[in-house]
Structure 1
Amino acid sequence: MVVLRALSALGSLVLGAGVGLATVGLHRYGWGLGLGAAATAATLVALPGGWWARLPFALGWVALLGVASVQRPEGDYVVAGDVSGYLLLAVGAVVLGAGCVGLLRRPGARGNAGG
């Protein structure tokens, strides 16, 4: 069981890095940023919460964004300091927050919800 969850976490991490790569690569286009944010949000909603599914996806996504945000040897940046770059960084903050919120457990259903 632990091995399956570890493999699931690794797969989710790789999936997050892949979606993050596509989003970073296309963020300069309005449709690319929108599509990347929509695909990221849909994946975060579809993945169950926990350390083995949603959090590794978010960490992979944000890690790739962090790697792309540092200065390149040529002196330029992949994520520019313009509106689309700042929107991409904001999406990254939301992704990280959604991954961490996924760690919280929801309370179970009680016998009498009507009070």
Structure 2
Amino acid sequence: MRVLVALGCLVLGAAVGLGTVALHGYGWGLGLGIAATAASLVALPGGWWRRLPFALGWTAALGVASVPRPEGDYLIASDASGYLLLATGAAVLGAGFVGLVPRGAPRGNAEG
């Protein structure tokens, strides 16, 4: 069952990432893509089977889109929105790995 959940999160991340890459040239599209990505990362619980596969799918879609096209140009432009998209990819990957750290109860002092 965990493998199916991980596969679903991977596909969901790739779909959200692809949509964000496709619409990043428009201001509203980049904002909507970042908002959808952030909402998904917050909604998914951390762990190997949920948030990390989503983040890996998202960054895989970004990685595939950043390869030069046969015409010699790039799908991600070298402007502010393109750099913000690439920075978002780094933040998404970081959030996926941060979700692996177990969150415990905060420790108080020894005096109680």
Q: Any stretches of 5+ residues in structure 2 without a counterpart?
A: none
Q: Matched residues, percent identical?
A: 76
Q: Following the alignment from structure 2 to structure 1, what is the Cα–Cα distance between the partners of residues 26 and 40?
A: 21
Q: Following the alignment from structure 2 to structure 1, what is the Cα–Cα distance between the partners of residues 81 and 41?
A: 21
Q: Per-residue displacement from partner, 1:52-107 (whole Å, max 9, x unpaired)?
A: 00000000000000000010111010001111100000110110000000000011
Q: Which of 92, 107, 112 lines up with 1:95 in the alignment?
A: 92
1:24 counterpart SS class: helix
Q: Normalising by structure 1, what TM-score?
A: 0.91
1:52 to 1:73, Cα distance in 2 relative to 1, 3 A: same
List aligned pairs for 1:70-85, cutoff 5 A.
70-85=67-82
What is the number of residues matched between the two proteins?
A: 112
Structure 1 residue 24 and structure 2 residue 14: aligned? no
Q: Following the alignment from structure 1 to structure 2, what is the Cα–Cα distance between the partners of residues 38 and 55?
A: 18
Equivalent residue, structure 1, for 2:9: 12
Q: Any stretches of 5+ residues in structure 1 without a counterpart?
A: none
Q: Which of 38, 49, 53 lines up with 2:35 in the alignment?
A: 38
Q: Following the alignment from structure 1 to structure 2, what is the Cα–Cα distance between the partners of residues 79 and 59?
A: 19
Q: Which amino acid aligns with 2:33?
A: G
Q: Which amino acid aligns with 1:49?
A: G
Equivalent residue, structure 2, for 1:106: 103
Q: Following the alignment from structure 1 to structure 2, what is the Cα–Cα distance between the partners of residues 64 and 20?
A: 6
Q: Normalising by structure 2, what TM-score?
A: 0.94
Equivalent residue, structure 1, for 2:54: 57
Q: Following the alignment from structure 2 to structure 1, what is the Cα–Cα distance between the partners of residues 108 and 2?
A: 31
Q: Per-residue displacement from partner, 1:3-39 (whole Å, max 9, x unpaired)?
A: x110000000000000001000000011100000000
Q: Following the alignment from structure 1 to structure 2, what is the Cα–Cα distance between the partners of residues 107 and 53?
A: 19
| Runs of 4+ with >6 A deviation | 109-112
2:59 counterpart SS class: helix
Q: Which amino acid aligns with 1:89?
A: L
